[in-house]
Amino acid sequence: MERRDCLRAGIGLAASGILPLLSAQAQAAKSAHVPMEAFARRPLLEQLSLSPDGKLLAAIVNSGKDSLIVVRPTAGGAFKTLARTDNLELMFNWIKWVNNERLVFSTRHPSGRREKDNLIGNVEATETRLHAINADGSNLLNLIKNWGASGKNLEWAYEQDNVIDWMRGDGKHILITLPASELNGWPAVFKVNVDTAERTGYSNSNSRERIYGWMTDDSHRVRLGLARTTHGARERVIHVCDPDGSNWRVLSQMRWLSPDVWWPLGFGLDPNLLYVWARHEGLAAVFTLDLRQPDAKLQLKLAHPRYDLNGSLIYDLKGEAVGVRQQALGDSSSFYWDERYKELQLALDEALPDRFNQLYSASRDGRTFVVRSDEPGRPPCFYIGYIGEQARMELLADCYPELLDQPLASKRPFDMKARDGMELHGFLTFPPGTDEKSGKLPLVVYPHGGPHAADGPEFSPRAAFMADRGCLVMQLNFRGSTGYGRKYLEAGYRQWGRAMQEDLEDGVAELVKRGLADPARVVIVGGSYGGYAALMGLIKTPDLYRGGFAIAPVTDLLEMAEDDGQWGWREETRAWVGDFRDDKDLLRANSPCLHAARIKVPVVLVHGTHDRVVHYRHSEKMAEALKAAGKPHQLIRQQHGDHYLSHQGYRLELHAALEKFLRQTLGV
């Protein structure tokens, strides 16, 4: 039977072959009002990984207040918990098998190194660590030794989990980057034994300075280095060598914000063919470059008429590049140029129609695989599939099991024009049982973070929660959002608090004009940049909103621009927001903490003290300014909380506060 036919036939067996991951959590009683906890939880499954032989399944599972790394036989059986955390001082990043028995996983934790501990002064950062463990729970190791002579260079090593090559076919070693030496903080490549944690220098990567990233080819040879000309330089440099390690040369030197910039994605089986992304008709597309030809031109490999394709390469079982995985409008999608995988994707989509289906993990022989499947506006789930005489796909687990069979909000695309005529796109989430004909609804404006990101048709638990409480939720991809091409992105440059904010105002006006939103009942809620937009909305249009709810917001643009500029991003920050030396008036004019007196409505601030993306002091400044101005406000301080609300207790706290806020401001 052909692979496509196997999948089509296999979906019919799903009902009889369901493998609930945590059966106790997979049962949810129907209720008139969905419990807040069902939306506030982290997804039951965040990652799944099949062992190379397909016999074991590893996953990051969120159960109760803890996150766990678990392993169990693919065919079913008991779980083995390998690691556990409550997501306060330590969080899991990812998991990956290196052989049929050994699992490597990454963790992160907030740090605040002081001058006596490092060479670069006081630094608050998120640090990462790399670990390995056997499937039976034995031989747990920190793979990056930090003792003895081999550990002296780790004073610089905030990031210790950057695996650049999993050495497919080896099963005992991986290639990582770490600072080259005690006195040289630029990264070099090291070979690490996953059973013993012993590491050795690899290739000649430590002999080249100012290179901050390395790439290998399919034969595990270091072939390419990414560099800056100087600290904070406007130009990025690509160094490349021949397959035998000789003839190092500059392949390209360009400004990152140049319209003709291109950037490497990696190699396939051909060691002389480099895959890159570059612009094609205004959108990022995949090209190839023949390194054997000194004057080689970029050759178009794959483009999309609507989406940027500048994600990560997808490889087949032999190591050939077959497509690119792209975060397309919030939906992590797979785009292929290989006909075999186009057929496979078509088979998945026919087996699971009207959904976004992504091949997520597979055994080395390709006969066992995992699929992540998303229905627009509905919680995602995972399927496990088998190819052979008894071809089938079985539901493995739902990511939000308590929401099964519950009446959930519907999510629909939304298009409009801004006041200057620019076409804008987004999504509306209607309360359960309502639609465009239901009359004027209380409205929540819910801008995304980033701001270089985008909302898509995928399930948003917070948007669904607010809709479940009776609100129409607008997620507008204002100018500056990604996925729509360079023109859409650049329209947001230096527009924090300006045109980007006006897009949200225009979105409200459009929904009022269409008779969907009640102009007297509008609030704005957001996190990170979205939290900034929530506060600026109350400042720029104080009569438009009845309240603002800001999660980990940026409130001082001058401070943010200075921080980013000092870490080597001055040119980009100048273009995106403004320069902390040359644009002080612009930055001050659009910093919420300096204009709290203009706010007329209640404000709620929620922020974790260990946030390493937007520092907690941004909310402190805002709260102090609101207090000084005599404005009603609440600051919810989440001790040791991070930017992503990783700790389940803090997620519940936030949703309880948000529910109260919606009730008090909108009467829902």
Reported as a pLDDT band with limits 50, 70 and 90, residue 148 is low
Report pLDDT for 20. 44
Stretch 445-454: mean pLDDT: 94
Long-range contacts of 508-511 (CB under 8 A, 24+ apart): 508/443, 508/445, 508/474, 508/544, 510/416, 511/428, 511/443, 511/472, 511/474
HSE value, Cβ hemisphere, 13 Å, CA-based, for 2: 8
Cβ distance 106 to 129 under 8 Å? yes
CA distances from 456 to 328, 372, 463, 548, 559 (A): 8, 16, 12, 23, 31
- Distance in angstroms (rounded) separating the CA atoms of residues 181 and 504: 49
**3 has a pLDDT exceeding 60:** no
CATH superfamily of 410-556+591-666: Alpha/Beta hydrolase fold, catalytic domain (3.40.50.1820)
Is residue 485 very low, low, confident or very high in pLDDT (cuts 50, 70, 90)?
confident
Contact 477, 351 (CB under 8 A): no
- pLDDT band of residue 104 (cuts 50, 70, 90) is very high
**How far is residue 384's CA from residue 374's CA, in Å, rounded to a whole number?**
14
pLDDT(330) > 60: no
pLDDT at 15 over 70: no
Range in 108-112, 115-119, 364-368 with the lowest mean pLDDT: 115-119
Which range among 18-32, 518-532, 568-582 has the greatest average pLDDT?
Answer: 518-532
Burial class (CB in 10 A: 0-12, 13-18, 19+), 256: middle
Please report which confidence band the pLDDT of residue 2 belongs to, taking 50, 70 and 90 as the band edges: very low
pTM, rounded to two decimals: 0.90
Model pLDDT for residues 185-211, shown as the tens digit of each residue: 789 999 999 999 999 999 876 666 689
Confidence class for position 567, pLDDT limits 50, 70, 90: low
Q: What is the model's pLDDT at position 118? A: 47
Residue type for position 530: G
Tell me, rounded to whole angstroms, the distance of Cα 129 from its chain centroid.
Answer: 19
pLDDT confidence of residue 375 = 85
Q: Which range scores top for mean pLDDT: 88-102, 176-190, 399-413? A: 88-102
Most confident of 22-26, 243-247, 270-274: 270-274
Q: Is the dihedral of CA 23, 26, 32, 34 positive or negative?
A: positive
pLDDT of residue 230: 64
Taking all residues of the chain, what is their mean pLDDT, rounded to a whole number? 89
Least confident of 2-16, 110-124, 210-224, 365-379: 2-16
Q: Check pLDDT > 90 for residue 668.
A: no
Query: Which pLDDT does position 4 carry in this prediction?
Result: 44
- Give, as one character, the DSSP assignment of residue 375: -
Could you write out the three-class secondary structure of 166-210? Answer: CCCCCCCEEEEEEEEECCEEEEEEEEEECCCCCEEECCCHHHCCC
Query: What's the average model confidence in pLDDT over 165-169?
Result: 94
Contact 451, 500 (CB under 8 A): yes
**Band of the pLDDT at 22, cuts 50, 70, 90?**
very low
The pLDDT of residue 229? 76
Q: What is the pLDDT of residue 18?
A: 33
- Residue 23 clears pLDDT 50, i.e. is over it: no
Q: How many residues comprise the chain?
A: 668
Owner of token pair 């070099």:
188
Residues sharing a CB contact under 8 Å with residue 157, sequence separation 6 or more, in sequence order: 144, 146, 178, 179
Task: Look at 235 and 193; give whichever has higher pLDDT.
Answer: 193
Q: Is the peptide bond before 451 cis (omega within 30 degrees of 0)?
A: yes
Residue 236 backbone phi and psi in degrees, to 5: -110, 140
Residues 259-313: pLDDT tens digits? Answer: 888 999 999 999 999 999 999 998 999 999 999 998 899 999 999 988 889 889 9
